[in-house]
Structure 1
Amino acid sequence: MLVGELRPTGGYIYKNKNESIGYCPQYDISFSALTVLQSIDYICRLHGLNPSLINNLILSQFQLEKYRHHLVSHLSGGTCRRLHLALCLIGSPTLLLLDEPTAKIDPLLRSHIRVILQHRPIDTSIIFASHSMLECEQLCDRLTILVRGNAKCLGSPEHLKNKYGMNYRIRLTLLQSSFQIPLLERIDHSNEYIYPKGSLPYLFTLLEQLVEQNIIASNYTVELTSLEHIFLTLQHSQDIKV
């Protein structure tokens, strides 16, 4: 509704008078008859900006230099996605609406784009939709998980982990393959174990004793249930309150 794609049926949306919006929908709206450089020029002029001052920065930041004279219609899905995200950032919008902005982009460039978004101007807010829980955890100050279109929870990643996480997950290397670690449940013969939420000091005491006895390696990790596991739990539960 903020960008005019849906007609409001009721209620209100408030925005600042001078607030500008950058929009990256789930599916690219490409300028198929234009080159990459012409597309950037066009959006710059819509914002009243001098393209010559911005072109090279955009091309470099999103690693599009070698595609500058390529038609948008000839770009791969991932490259087109990068271009579209770059276009929505032109003009330094104060509100970014990003619907799966890193879809179809390879992992290395996806990480690069996350860094760009993390270093956005301090007065820029982002509403970010993604199926990647790792991406949400790295980028979001607050997040909500939708189940069949309904919000099931709202809060910071740490808040959701503390509220909905049912256990700790331990990743370790077992040096004595036949040893059964007390109180830890192994996950499908992997190097990951589950420890029910309880006394962390006791857990670390146990793990350090196992290290001293040369039963496990010293490079173990302990973490709360991941957002992905919480997401799957909420997807299959109808009883958890928001």
Structure 2
Amino acid sequence: MLIISFSPSCPSSAPSGGNKRKLSTGIALLGEPTVIFLDEPSTGMDPVARRLLWDTVARARESGKAIVITSHSMEECEALCTRLAIMVQGQFKCLGSPQHLKSKFGSGYSLRAKVRSDGQQEALQEFKAFVDLTFPGSILEDEHQGMVHYHLPGDGLSWAKVFGILEKAKEKYGVDDYSVSQISLEQVFLSFAHLQPPAEDEGP
């Protein structure tokens, strides 16, 4: 179901960007076509409208229609795509299901932890030193207000081993909460995007 709110007398060029996207998707679905092409279908939509559109597209896919989507939103790709291709400089670099691409090209784990510092920096620094020592090659991606985000290398590490190490370290380093997850599809996309050479400035 697509909810489009504007006057019937309003020209199709007048609605907001989000409503234009919904209108374009609705037109593409008319006539029960067997193949549907959608270009950035949810751009400019609020979260509720985006979910409604995704549900509509997913139902069309489940009815047996072939849907080809171009998108820069990895969240959209994970929600809608059964097979995914990543292109760099007009060339296909990989093709497969989202889970296959994450398993094949997403090396390592993503660690997020909240350290109970109580205004002190010592606890946070001790935990960071612990991560650097315990997981050689780990990269600190972000740090803010006692929250740290690390990329952990995957060589020789299993889910059980990572969780076991962190569970034992929780009390010692004052870790209030932590999560370990597989590398995201967005990180896989960015790893390929880095292969694209920077655009050259055109002269006057």
Name the TM-score class by shorter chain.
0.7 to 0.9
CA deviation profile, 1:162-215 (whole Å, cap 9, x unmatched): 111122101221123232232254223243111110232210101111234462
Aligned residue among 217, 220, 223 for 2:181: 223
Instruction: Return the offset for 1:91.
Output: 1.9
Q: How many residues align?
A: 177
Residue in 1 aligned with 2:70? 129
Instruction: Return the offset for 1:66.
Output: 4.5
Residue in 2 aligned with 1:189? 143
Find the residue that maps to 2:176 and give its secondary structure. coil
Residue in 2 aligned with 1:96? 36
Residue in 2 aligned with 1:106? 46
Inter-CA distance 210–69: structure 2 relative to 1 (3 Å threshold): farther
Structure with the larger strand share: 2
CA distance in 1, matches of 2:179, 2:190: 22
Residue in 2 aligned with 1:5? none
What do you get for the CA RMSD once the two structures are aligned? 2.0
CA distance in 2, matches of 1:212, 1:129: 46
Instruction: Return the offset for 1:65.
Output: 4.5
Residue in 1 aligned with 2:199? none
Q: Is the aligned partner of 1:234 residue 2:192?
A: yes
AA in 2 matched with 1:149 = G
CA distance in 2, matches of 1:103, 1:213: 46
CA distance in 2, matches of 1:114, 1:67: 24
CA distance in 2, matches of 1:199, 1:227: 19
The answer on whether the counterparts of 2:21 and 2:41 sit within 8 Å (CA) in structure 1 is yes
CA distance in 2, matches of 1:224, 1:172: 15
CA deviation profile, 1:30-50 (whole Å, cap 9, x unmatched): xxxxxxxxxxxxxxxxxxxxx
Residue in 1 aligned with 2:102? 161
Q: Is the aligned partner of 1:170 residue 2:170?
A: no
Aligned residue among 202, 215, 218 for 2:161: 202
Find the residue that maps to 2:78 and give its secondary structure. helix
AA in 2 matched with 1:159 = H
Inter-CA distance 105–65: structure 2 relative to 1 (3 Å threshold): closer
CA distance in 2, matches of 1:129, 1:194: 28
- In the superposition, the TM-score normalised over structure 2's length comes to 0.78
CA distance in 2, matches of 1:112, 1:67: 21
CA distance in 2, matches of 1:232, 1:205: 30
Find the residue that maps to 1:201 and give its secondary structure. helix
The ranges of structure 1 where at least 4 consecutive aligned residues each deviate by more than 6 angstroms after the TM superposition are none
AA in 2 matched with 1:237 = L
Greater RCO, CA 8 A, separation 6+: 2
Instruction: Return the offset for 1:74.
Output: 2.1
Residue in 1 aligned with 2:202? none
CA distance in 1, matches of 2:153, 2:91: 29
CA distance in 2, matches of 1:127, 1:151: 15
Which one is further off, 170-179 or 155-164?
170-179
CA distance in 1, matches of 2:78, 2:140: 25
